[in-house]
Structure 1
Amino acid sequence: MLFRWDQSRGFSLCMAVLTVPVTLGAIYSAYLIYSGPDPSITALLLRAGLVYLSTSIRHDFADRFRNAGKARSLGCSQVPVYPHKDPILGLDLAWQQVRRRKNHTVVEGFIDRFQRYGHTHYQLALGQRIIVTDDPENIKTILATKFEDWPIAGARLHAVLPLLGPKSIFSSNGEAWHSARTMLRPAFVRDQVADFRCFERHTENFIQRIPTDGSTVDLQELLLAMSMDSSTDFLLGYSTGLLTENPLPDTREFTRAFGEAALKSSMKALVGPFLFKLPDRELDRNVKKVRDFVRYYLREVATEKAGNPKYQDSERAYVFLDELLKQDAPEEFVVDQILSVLIAGRDTTAMGIAVCFWFLARHPDAVVKLREEILSANAHDPTWEQLKNMKYLNSVIKESLRLVPPVPMNTRVANKDTVLPVGGGHDGRQPVFVAKGTPVRFSLISMQRRQDLYGPTAHKFSNARWLDDKFRPGWEYVPFHGGPRVCLGQQFALTQIAFVLFRVFQRFKAIEAADEGPMRLATSLTASFATGVPVRLTPA
């Protein structure tokens, strides 16, 4: 582990004191120039910049001095620091992040840094000091034990705010968050989760698009379309129809804008939140298209639902929008919640299913055993209870989500001076002081691949581990997060994943990968496969 000598309290005090004469000298120099016979605007601006810079540095080191004293009083230890070539802004790591995003190796970069510099360490994000961690004890503290200390803020808030709005369950805190969660919770009770009638139609449309002649198909593309169709059906009572011959007008443009806005927002958040202060017409246009699309159909549903059969779904007793309209919520609040559920329902579910197919295409032995379990169930239309009790099917799902959780990384910001339980000291097991306003970025995907937690096969697909009754991971396995903000749609997503796998392997006896390259993940608000999931399936 690498510790920096500039973390010491004495060094911080010395730097804070040394910047004082620099600041005073710059102010005096600016005064002399201004009072001279021919003051130079350029020279004055340069002095003003020097005053601002030296003052900022002085405040920074003064804060470090105070925080070092607080840390010592709380028994906290120093944290390893990433060895930046640019110790001021951390531009070296920022450019590395940009390159890795283009090469779709962001996840590999995080895993490598955790192995090199410790499971909890500091790094710079365009001048801001942040903590990164993949330690389950720290993640538990952030998501559960000290939940109130860690609101949605900083990079994560910036990543979702443009697209989802300020009242979304994913962007709000405190009472606003509680209100949003209370409103959304009825959508995910067991009666809704166990009702397959809506999802059945879209699963059938998905299967009909799979070639039966052994030709290659990208399942990720089909799954995103299927989950968009099923999500809008569930939310509004009608479907975008991407997998039908007659999709709704502007649906494909909406889908494109939705994806591009999510990607641009997450990229800015990863590199540095200050980028959101810069104008971005492309992002603004895409966000407007997305929200206008939802707003238009929301109004259509609100005004025509009662009398127009087009908006009545006799096969489904529950429509999400019905519940929102009953509560007479403001229109923009409803738009925020619909987009929140949409991104969870579309992206999370589609990725969860895609990950299972990606691994099964490379493990034919698992496909054989999975089909044996499915056929032995002797059920053409499985019930929720049957799917839940299928051990091998669920072991495949759990192992796939262990290796690739739908939201691989997340961020919280401390709203007060607080402490993380581990990460400090030379052994990495000492408590860590976290000053108010410090972002902490935690990585679920690297935590769930740690060999010290999952053994030597941590990086490999081995669903057999979940068939061992003694294997019961705690906070080492949280693909849907945990604590008060645990994903409301967790059971909804798991049930849909199980249902699709059941249906597909009723009809197909084998799946084969059509590409031989390594896994390459694109990271946006959620993960996805950068090159899709090209496979060939063999009918039963």
Structure 2
Amino acid sequence: MVFQLEKVNEAIRRRVPPLTSIPLPRSVDQRILEKRWPVTELAPPPPGSGLKPILGDAGPPLIGHSLDFMRYGPSFALRRFQLYGPISWAHSLGRPMVTLGGPEATSIALINKDKAFSQGGWRALIDTFFHRGLMLLDFDEHMSHRRIMQQAFTRQRLTGYVDQMGPTLREGVQAWGGQERPRLYWLLKQLTLDVATRVFMDQRSGKDADRINRAFVDSVRAATAVVRYPVPGGRWAAGVNGRKLLERYFADNIGRARRSEGDDLFSALCHARSEDGEQFGDDDVINHMIFLMMAAHDTSTITSTAVAYFLAKHPEWQERARAESLALGDEVPDIEALEKLETLDLVIKESLRLVAPVPSMVRTTVRDTEVLGHHLPAGTMVGVSPFLNHFSADHWSNPFDFDPERFAEGRREDKSHRFAWVPFGGGAHKCIGLHFGTLEVKALLHEMLRGYTWTVPRGYEVKWDYVSLPVPVDGLPVELRRR
């Protein structure tokens, strides 16, 4: 294949579109994205298979493209798509990694008809801290656990969770009053942690809640540690200690939760039974609680931050959403009231499109398979990239523009393909808490709209850090004014 690869390298040099076709943040170093590396095959296809090899490049020696993924996020992903199309490989995180992008490639991995894709990719990254969480389980075991857990996310349960989170959100948002230029991300992160401890564990604020919150933060941060060994004072060690603290807390309190008929998630998981009468053991409840606490507060923080940012950049949408919130009156809204906030619903969906909270859904192949006519060998780490679906000009009009109306009835661009919009994943592993998360973000933004107006300076563009999940590098400073 040497001769053919030389031809491929030359063809790519000739046909690559200009980088200016991708809207780039000012922080992106265009020289790095323009750099050409020799194109090579991931692995030769089996003789006579008729399959094509997956093409890509290793990038810089030793580090590969790890830092490019982390620094440039969607800009880097879109450039790779320009170079190689919907399937390519790169050296990242110390090993070859294949990226699948676009609705067709995405559907193969997420629907996973031949069960060739496992959750082993996630286990390699975060199992130390979120051992046997639902997202890390595979196939029949995953479906068994999901059937039980679904009983904790029924309409009746969601109604109770909304009733619990409402007062916590109102009190927390009102307490922001004295800060004129806060770093909004950090305010939202603390608030979603408070909601998680209140709704998930029936734990009020205080020393215990603060310790639990700190342990969750340490566990989440540890997954991106460069030194992946418990060196004292290091990020990995803090995560290991945080995990131990969380295990002790839930183990000490699981007896109370099993005796309780409370409305919190901890009690719900203790009592949940599938239609076949299956129930979680104590270890399963503890593992799922630790994972769900992480998943709930991190994604809700990122989504509410993105929504608040776009509402600051587009004050006409902020006023339109505020009018609907004020029309609900002064009562803390219940689930039916939140579902009436149609403008917020549009803005949340568009924010999830532009800033996907999980920038890559990681899988590992457990057998040789094929994707769009390409040979994908067993044992390969695979990342499904929502960016490439969310910015596809084949499925979205002016895909880089903020345009919530694209989700309104009559347009529904998200219906252009089943996997055009995938902020919650898809297939058997589609986020089980997507309705809870959406309701939490709606309730939080509703309280912000009632109490404040907020703006950012003209010309301000947020810079997202993609080292783990997208976080605003500067914390998103805003001008916050009481109404």
Same fold, judged at TM 0.5 (above):
yes
**Distance between the aligned counterparts of 2:376 and 2:388, measured in 1?**
22
Q: 1:146 to 1:265 in 2, by over 3 A?
A: same
**Distance between the aligned counterparts of 1:305 and 1:435, measured in 2?**
46
Show CA shifts across 1:163-207 (max 9, x none).
101x22122213432333233211211112223221012202221
1:293 to 245, 248, 257: 245
**Distance between the aligned counterparts of 2:6 and 2:130, measured in 1?**
40
**Distance between the aligned counterparts of 1:284 and 1:124, measured in 2?**
23
**Distance between the aligned counterparts of 1:7 and 1:192, measured in 2?**
59
Match of 2:466 in 1: 523
Matches within 5 A, 1:386-425: 386-421=337-372
Q: 1:283 to 1:515 in 2, by over 3 A?
A: farther
**Counterpart contact for 1:4–1:81, Cα < 8 Å:** no
Match of 2:326 in 1: 375
Show CA shifts across 1:128-151 (max 9, x none).
433212211111111115272211
Match of 1:48 in 2: none
- Residue 132 of structure 1: SS of its match in structure 2? strand
Match of 1:198 in 2: 164
**Distance between the aligned counterparts of 1:493 and 1:77, measured in 2?**
41
Match of 1:93 in 2: 65
- Residue 127 of structure 2: SS of its match in structure 1? helix
Match of 1:111 in 2: 78
Per the TM alignment, residue 3 of structure 1 is displaced from its structure 2 partner at its CA by 10
Per the TM alignment, residue 64 of structure 1 is displaced from its structure 2 partner at its CA by 4.2
**Counterpart contact for 2:214–2:242, Cα < 8 Å:** no
Match of 1:211 in 2: 177
**Counterpart contact for 1:159–1:525, Cα < 8 Å:** no
Show CA shifts across 1:390-411 (max 9, x none).
3322111110111012111121
Match of 1:450 in 2: 392
Match of 2:22 in 1: none
- Residue 134 of structure 2: SS of its match in structure 1? coil
Match of 1:428 in 2: none
Amino acid paired to 2:147? T
Q: 1:369 to 1:325 in 2, by over 3 A?
A: closer
Matches within 5 A, 1:71-86: 72-73=48-49, 75-82=50-57, 84=59, 86=61
**Distance between the aligned counterparts of 1:267 and 1:140, measured in 2?**
31
**Counterpart contact for 2:91–2:97, Cα < 8 Å:** yes
Q: 1:504 to 1:286 in 2, by over 3 A?
A: same
Structure with the bigger percentage of helix: 1
**Divergent runs of 4+, >4 A:** 251-254, 278-281, 303-307, 326-331, 514-517
Matches within 5 A, 1:456-535: 456=398, 458-473=399-414, 474-508=418-452, 510-513=453-456, 517-523=460-466, 525-535=468-478
**Counterpart contact for 1:131–1:440, Cα < 8 Å:** yes
Amino acid paired to 1:505? L
1:359 to 294, 310, 314: 310
Identity within the alignment, %: 19
Q: Does 1:237 align with 2:202?
A: yes
Q: 1:147 to 1:290 in 2, by over 3 A?
A: farther
Q: 1:378 to 1:112 in 2, by over 3 A?
A: same
How large is the RMSD of aligned CA atoms in angstroms? 3.2
Show CA shifts across 1:263-297 (max 9, x none).
342355xxxxxx85x66553552233222322333
Matches within 5 A, 1:29-108: 64-65=43-44, 67-69=45-47, 72-73=48-49, 75-82=50-57, 84=59, 86=61, 91-94=63-66, 96-97=67-68, 101=70, 104-108=71-75
Show CA shifts across 1:440-461 (max 9, x none).
21211342123333233x1221
Amino acid paired to 1:528? V
Amino acid paired to 1:291? R
Per the TM alignment, residue 254 of structure 1 is displaced from its structure 2 partner at its CA by 4.9
- Residue 55 of structure 2: SS of its match in structure 1? coil
- Residue 534 of structure 1: SS of its match in structure 2? coil
Amino acid paired to 2:263? Y
Match of 1:47 in 2: none
Match of 2:223 in 1: 265
Amino acid paired to 2:224? S
Any stretches of 5+ residues in structure 2 without a counterpart? Answer: 9-40, 273-278
- Residue 165 of structure 2: SS of its match in structure 1? helix
Show CA shifts across 1:365-417 (max 9, x none).
11111122223445734342333243322111110111012111121111112
Match of 2:102 in 1: 135
Match of 1:435 in 2: 377
Match of 2:11 in 1: none
**Counterpart contact for 1:237–1:319, Cα < 8 Å:** yes
- Residue 452 of structure 1: SS of its match in structure 2? coil
Amino acid paired to 1:111? L
**Distance between the aligned counterparts of 1:538 and 1:504, measured in 2?**
10
Q: 1:359 to 1:539 in 2, by over 3 A?
A: same
Match of 2:207 in 1: 248
- Residue 197 of structure 1: SS of its match in structure 2? helix
- Residue 191 of structure 2: SS of its match in structure 1? helix
Count how many residue pairs are aligned between Structure 1 and Structure 2: 439
**Counterpart contact for 1:160–1:525, Cα < 8 Å:** no
**Distance between the aligned counterparts of 1:504 and 1:147, measured in 2?**
46
Q: 1:3 to 1:82 in 2, by over 3 A?
A: farther
Amino acid paired to 1:452? D
**Distance between the aligned counterparts of 2:169 and 2:266, measured in 1?**
22
Amino acid paired to 2:141? A
Q: 1:83 to 1:182 in 2, by over 3 A?
A: closer
**Counterpart contact for 1:224–1:347, Cα < 8 Å:** yes
**Counterpart contact for 1:263–1:524, Cα < 8 Å:** no
Q: 1:520 to 1:323 in 2, by over 3 A?
A: same
Match of 1:25 in 2: none
Match of 2:254 in 1: 302
